[in-house]
Structure 1
Amino acid sequence: MDWSGTGVDGTPVRMTGELHFGWVPGGRAVQDVRIVPGRGEIGEGRPPLAFHGSTNRFYDPSIDAWRSTWIEPVNGRIRRFIGRPLDNEIIPLSTEDEPQLHWRFTAITPRSFRWRAETSHDARVTWTFDKGASPKAG
């Protein structure tokens, strides 16, 4: 995948990485594994820009939404999201911890999508673009 974001010094950063995803366990949930920068790339596995983690998500009919948990050992993060469709996007929102986060999955096709991460430090009044990727299926 192609990833772009902002470095710790505020300058734009672009990296390539890997995205692996599939159905787990027995087709009841979707898991993805993201490795940015990719294996063998400069900065692999080193914070603060590297994120090597996994998301598990499943549909919960009791809330009519997707529950999702992001686990990222490289930066010591665990975040839970509730995801719902909005227009032609899917918006997972994490409000349990500060800052609050939402991700946007846009331009969704059978073979690709665009992902953006946004952060709010003021209880969702304003959002700051964090990082984004354009994963494409192989």
Structure 2
Amino acid sequence: MNRIENEASRAFLSALAAPGRAADIGEADDIYGWLVGSWSLEVLRYRGVDLRGKGMMAEAHFGWALEGRAIEDVWIMPPRGTRPPQDPEFNMYGTTLRSWDPDLRAWRISWTNPARSHRETQIGRRVGNEIVQTGARADGQATRWRFAEITSRGFHWIGEALDRDGSTWFIEGEFLATRVEG
């Protein structure tokens, strides 16, 4: 990377990152701020494949963005440093932008994983002790992603899709997260 590219990257990251949530987002509405930091992920399932006990790992990094009105993350599988040149089956290097919508009183979520041409849009809210994000894919298939078993040191992330029968949810992705920084 040359000097101009390096300076441009620093300027971009400085403009994107925020030190914390915006003052106009109330504490009760801040359902994602606890995620800020870095996480190690044990992959239990991905693309419906049961990977428990296989040692598949991933990493995720979360931070405040856009003047504190959004949380952005990066999910990477396999983790950097262990990534093969190209793993077509289990390749994830994507980002989520969770933006606060004061009119909706919920978070608008946009996920993209360019490594697999996968995109999702959802709405996120607290439901009991979980954070639940719901949406539908371009083909109309309903999706539900949940942060469950939330503690200061970990969480269980479950990504589900609604079967064509309209009543059965099936797990497409599942991760156990452990905080490593933040």
| TM-score of the superposed pair, with normalisation by structure 1 | 0.86
* Structure with bigger RCO (C-alpha 8 Å, 6+ apart): 2
CA-atom RMSD, angstroms?
2.1
With over 3 angstroms needed to count, the CA separation of the structure-2 counterparts of 1:110 and 1:7, relative to structure 1, is closer
Is the contact between residue 60 and residue 67 of structure 1 (CA under 8 Å) also seen in structure 2?
Answer: yes
What are the ranges of 5 or more consecutive residues in structure 1 without an aligned counterpart? none
Tell me by how many angstroms 1:41 deviates: 2.7
The residue type equivalent to 1:104 in the other structure is R
With over 3 angstroms needed to count, the CA separation of the structure-2 counterparts of 1:5 and 1:41, relative to structure 1, is same
- Report the counterpart of residue 161 of structure 2 in structure 1: 119
- Report the counterpart of residue 106 of structure 1 in structure 2: 148
Alignment of 1:1-138 (within 5 A): 1-5=41-45, 12-13=50-51, 14=54, 15-41=56-82, 45-98=86-139, 99-122=141-164, 124-138=166-180
Moved more, 94-103 or 126-135: 94-103
Structure with greater helix share of residues: 2
| TM-score of the superposed pair, with normalisation by structure 2 | 0.67
Is the contact between residue 36 and residue 44 of structure 1 (CA under 8 Å) also seen in structure 2?
Answer: no
Moved more, 114-123 or 55-64: 114-123
Larger Rg: 2
Identity of aligned residues (%): 32
What are the ranges of 5 or more consecutive residues in structure 2 without an aligned counterpart? 1-40
The residue type equivalent to 2:132 in the other structure is I
With over 3 angstroms needed to count, the CA separation of the structure-2 counterparts of 1:121 and 1:134, relative to structure 1, is same
